[in-house]
Amino acid sequence: MLRKKTTLTTLLIASAGLSMPVLADQHDESSSQPTTPWYVGAKLGGSSVVNMDAGVTDVTDIEKNSTTWSVYGGYRLFPWLSLELGYTDLGKVELKDVAGKFTATGLDAAVKATYAINEKFDVFARVGAYYYDWKASGGGVCCSVKDTAATAGVGGEYKFAGDWGAQLEYKYYNDVGGSPDFHTYNIGVNYYF
C-alpha cells in the first residue's frame, strides 16, 4: 500500500514538473497579451470642480482643486472591451470663507473600449456610472446626498513590463451632489493576471 502511494506521489510530482515548461510557454513576458481576462489597477491625480451650486458660491469662494484617487478591478470580455468596478475618492471641495467642506466618494462602474496602437501602446474610452456619497460637513453647510452620476473618460496606456501597464487618463463626472461637475486627471498603474 505504501509503495502504491509513493509511486502515485512520484508520478504526480513528475507530471507537474513536466507541465511547468508548457505553462511557462503560454505566457511570454514580452507580450502585451495577458493570460487571463482579469486585471487590477490604481490611479492618483487631481480633480477640478465646476458648476458648484450658487447657494454655496454666492456665500463663499471655494477651493476648486483637490487630490483624487481610485482602486479598481476589471474583466476583459473581448480584447477590446472590458467591464470595470472600483472605488473612487474625488477629493474635497473646501469652502474658503466659511468653515466647511464637501466630499465625494463612491463606487465607479464602467464599460471600457480599447484600441491597440501597437504591442505596447493602447488608447481607450470609457463610460459609466458613479454611485456616490456626497457629504457636507461644517457649520451651516448643507446637504449630504447619495445618488448616481454619469461618467466618461479617455486615456492611453503603455505596457512597460510584462503584465504591467502605466496609464494617463482624463475622466468627467457629471452632476455629483446635485450640480457640481468634476474633471479629473490621473496617472495610474494596471496589473494583468
Residue 189 pLDDT class (50, 70, 90 cuts):
very high
- CATH code assigned at 96: 2.40.160.20
Q: Is residue 56 part of a domain?
A: no
pTM of the model: 0.78
Q: Is residue 123 part of a domain?
A: yes
Q: Is residue 115 part of a domain?
A: yes
How many CB atoms are located within 10 Å of the residue 164 CB?
A: 12
Q: Domain range holding 107?
A: 41-48+65-192
Segment 62-121, tens digit of pLDDT: 888 999 999 999 999 999 999 999 999 999 988 887 888 899 999 999 999 999 999 999
CA-CA-CA-CA dihedral for 150, 152, 134, 51, to nearest 10: -90
pLDDT at 163: 94
The number of folded domains in the chain is: 1
Average pLDDT, the chain: 84
Q: Is residue 172 part of a domain?
A: yes
39: which 3 cell numbers? 486585471
Q: Is residue 15 part of a domain?
A: no
Query: How is 62-120 classified by DSSP, letter by letter?
Result: EE-EEEEEEEEEEEEEETTEEEEEEEEEEEEEEESSSSEEEEEEEEEEEEEEEEESSSS
Q: Is residue 34 part of a domain?
A: no
Distance CA 143, CA 6 (A): 70
The pairing of strands 100-116 and 145-161 is: unpaired
Q: Which of 31-35, 36-40, 124-128 has the lowest mean pLDDT?
A: 31-35
Q: Is residue 171 part of a domain?
A: yes
Q: Is residue 6 part of a domain?
A: no
